Structure 1
């Protein structure tokens, strides 16, 4: 092929892994550190710096009128790494497992891969994360609940994000910033909204009571030590082995308790941890264990609850979720702090959101991450444009009191004009 016009689509491993289409002569983004690869890319298989590596999916457009070629995993449990290396005027494709090869577009391939799955219409939401982050308090939720009603914003779900829990892993104990989670859920519902909550069910803080009391519930490495999940909010995190009956029963209790409190919208995060390589009680392969773990969550919350995935292996998750984050976190800043496009930034979130737009309505409802419209957000008009064009799931994450006239009108408009769960054109 002609290297001047040929392009390669490289699918990342999970939600936060940069994904896009690149000229064959342009090296794609790679992790800034080993720890970044562990927590934001495919942890066990390092991608080469001078070649392309699609995780279960790689497409080649020769750019000269010949049809696109799609090289892909045969099913969600068999997801090889597929490499493309430029050698003069040839692009050499290789994989470490079985792949299918066909001509045509990604949307056509996706419809076949998903087996005709069609997601349901998503609710609109307000989320606490991008203003308060892990410092959120119960009073913050109550304040914004009142402000949403005051301004008649078309919000259906009020989602309590990270920070409500005593520790990651200790989901039945509250931080000292919350008095009563059940009381807060009731207050949200009494105000006319659905109650939503963030939880990272398979991710365990090494300082949590769960880890101290049950280290044997963790996925272990070849030396018998808990596998590390990467560097997020510091270090010292492990992965819960959901194939161990006691650990599975623990998660059923956690989700059952949240359902009994009145939550029926669940954002489950950092869920790549359930697919990490390591030793499990049952001996199940990682992707089998991962899909079984998501099935456990779905069973516990019931078929009517809305399930949003984040930090999730993309192809192994097909058919399991109502909605899926298809990018890294957005951020009030445009550029990532360390230049790694898997890190929070509007630039990184835009890159993957645009590239994965074909997944919307075929695999799930695409979540490009939250709308940020307050005046302090860099390039807020550009980010609002991305959410408007590509946002299947639409959620606001500003302190409502800090929105100016433009922010309020934009938030109201984008939460009103929600696209149906049909594939984007």
Structure 2
């Protein structure tokens, strides 16, 4: 346990959330941090946060507000263990403790600068490797959601060409699969998925696809035929219960799925709901991502999402660093783990220091059609903090401002080096 004297007015605490969607930001020392209303899917399973105070998952930083350097408390190696680090304020003192092995370091300057300095060292120690620039992407999700069809993909493939948009990847999102877990079977609108990938490639674009590799839905063929491959409760979505895959028992399944997807022509993979893979332990989680990488090859581009942050370092090329964006600004019930522009903005900014050190930061897609609330504000966030740039509008719905903004942001992604730090 560590006790740190702080200024109750000026002191700040940076709380880092468990996974992509977990709220992450800096608070005044007397504040109480945001808490997901559905912690099983948006928080850290089995590690409930206190009602008051702070709980950083593997990382917590404190600016005492007294002129002293920033104190960074962090996991020694978040690939193997991610301790929960708690901080509570009382009578001018912040008490910090953890349930695992934590190192403490002092860094001058702002919290953002201190986190960048810490991350430089962490990346070196854990062998994060060189960060690869991201391609520019068009994604189907934020217009069509799960109702996307092959015709929708082809319409936008043609529109990208007709409007000369600088898109490298056409990414098919959720809706192509027969079920969550049944990745080798197609929904009716995507009966010819390999042919569609071929059409995308013949048009001079790369074919991308969304997969939730460590999930199986209760009504999936995978869950019914292979219950021994399932792990624990992974939440509820798509109108049904979700189960985490037992990554070790399901290794052959993972290899088969991703070998097939690569053979069909996909080389850009949006890997979603990855938190489920860590429910069986961090070794199993990292092994699962390694199996996927081996199946798709070193040249494929992997984007993590819904992923435990520190355990993923070195295993993906880009990482969603925020909750989902949304056409609306405010989140449901004020929950900053749920889809909204405000939630995506808060956590994207708070994780800006990861870009160029751990991976390319993905703040989520640009949505610029006229129906989007405060679209100018969201575009400014993507422009300032977006390393991976992806458009997710129906191209035909963009007005002049939306089309110009989409073209400009897709063509001006920053290099995969750290952003300037205040």
Normalising by structure 2, report the TM-score.
0.95
1:137 aligns with 2:149: yes
Q: Report the counterpart of residue 273 of structure 1 in structure 2.
A: 276
Select the residue among 360, 363, 374 that pairs with 1:365: 360
Moved more, 114-123 or 150-159: 114-123
Which of 356, 370, 376 pairs up with 2:351?
356
Shift of 1:4: 0.6
The aligned counterpart of 1:108 is 117
After superposing on structure 2, the runs of 4+ consecutive aligned residues of structure 1 that deviate more than 2 Å are 231-235
Q: How does 1:121-200 map to 2 (within 5 A)?
A: 121-200=133-212
Q: 2:49 — aligned with what?
A: 47
Once the two structures are TM-superposed, the CA of residue 233 in structure 1 deviates from its matched residue by: 2.7
- Structure 1: tracts of 5 or more residues without a match: 220-226, 278-285
1:93 equivalent to 2:105? Answer no
1:338 shift after superposition: 2.2
1:23-422 aligned at under 5 Å gives the runs 23-32=28-37, 36-75=38-77, 76-104=79-107, 105-115=114-124, 117-219=129-231, 227-244=232-249, 247-277=250-280, 286-422=281-417
Q: Deviations over 1:78-101 (max 9, x none)?
A: 110000000110000000001000
Provide the secondary structure at the position in 2 that maps to 1:252: helix
Q: Deviations over 1:342-396 (max 9, x none)?
A: 0100000000000000000001000000000000000000000000000000000
Shift of 1:43: 1.1
RMSD: 0.8
Deviation at 1:189?
0.4
- Give, in whole Å, the separation in 2 of the partners of 1:242 and 1:314: 18
- Whole-Å Cα distance in 1 between the matches of residues 350 and 56 of structure 2? 13
Report the secondary structure of 1:265's partner residue. strand
Q: Distance between the aligned counterparts of 1:235 and 1:42, measured in 2?
A: 21
SS across alignment from 2:370: coil
State how far apart, in whole Å, the 1-side matches of 2:338 and 2:45 are. 15
